Amino acid sequence: MKARSLEQVLIVAATERELVPVKRSHTLACGIGPVEAAATTARALAELRPSVVLHVGIAGARDLPPLALVLGSEAIYCDAEGPLVPTRALPDQALLGRLRDAFPGARVQPIGTSARVGGSHGVEVEAMEGFAVLRAAELAGVPAVEVRVISNEIDEPERARWRFDEALAALAEFLPRLVAAAS
């Protein structure tokens, strides 16, 4: 079995556009949606053995301003229900605490995971991979947290009004501090 990397942060995002290389970290584009994210992340965890996982990206929200930074208090799998199916994954509390200290203005709240845009319910923030990445990390015994920058209102049908470029720029600016706080 390969030993766990010392102070090695794995930055996971759905797409390459959401990733910025940061010292003392590896990056992984896990793919879009919960199935790709789970499979790709599990494989990377087994191969790289990082000390920490930061799952980052942009997200939609209900009633949150664009470019707001959100630290996930939990990841909720909105596409599944039932007593035999895990539907919540919690971040590592010590890691979340360090990020809260580093980003006191960030919102800390649940982030919903759904395979389709607008598919979340009961949450203000929606993304497509968070539960899968946090669950893979949980099963591998690796501390993890989900971090999102809001790019759009979930129900905004006109994608030209979504602020992808600005949200990606904000995420790139936050990443070095996120990695430093996570290390």
Q: Within a domain: residue 94?
A: yes
Contact 39/45 with Cβ under 8 angstroms? no
Average pLDDT over every residue of 136-165: 90
Q: Within a domain: residue 45?
A: yes
Q: Within a domain: residue 1?
A: no
Reported as a pLDDT band with limits 50, 70 and 90, residue 20 is confident
Range of the domain at 26: 9-182
Q: What is the pLDDT of residue 155?
A: 79
Q: Within a domain: residue 121?
A: yes
Q: Give the DSSP letter of residue 160.
A: G
Q: Which of 26-30, 83-87, 143-147, 159-163 has the lowest mean pLDDT?
A: 83-87
pLDDT digits 0-9 by tens, 23-78: 889 999 999 999 999 999 999 999 999 999 999 999 999 989 999 999 999 999 98
**Entry pTM:** 0.91
Q: What is the dihedral of CA 43, 46, 51, 52, to 10 degrees?
A: 20
| Cα dist from 68 to 37, 60, 62, 181, whole Å | 23, 10, 12, 19
Q: Within a domain: residue 147?
A: yes
Inform me whether the pLDDT recorded for 117 exceeds 90: no
C-alpha angle 148/174/69, rounded to 5°?
35
Q: What is the pLDDT of residue 153?
A: 86
Average pLDDT over every residue of 12-28: 91
Give Cβ neighbours of residue 64 (< 8 Å, ≥ 6 apart). 70, 107, 124, 125, 150
Q: What is the pLDDT of residue 6?
A: 45
Reported as a pLDDT band with limits 50, 70 and 90, residue 85 is low
CATH number of the domain to which 126 belongs: 3.40.50.1580
Reported as a pLDDT band with limits 50, 70 and 90, residue 81 is confident
- Residue 108 CA to residue 70 CA, distance in Å, equals 6
- What domain count does the chain have? 1
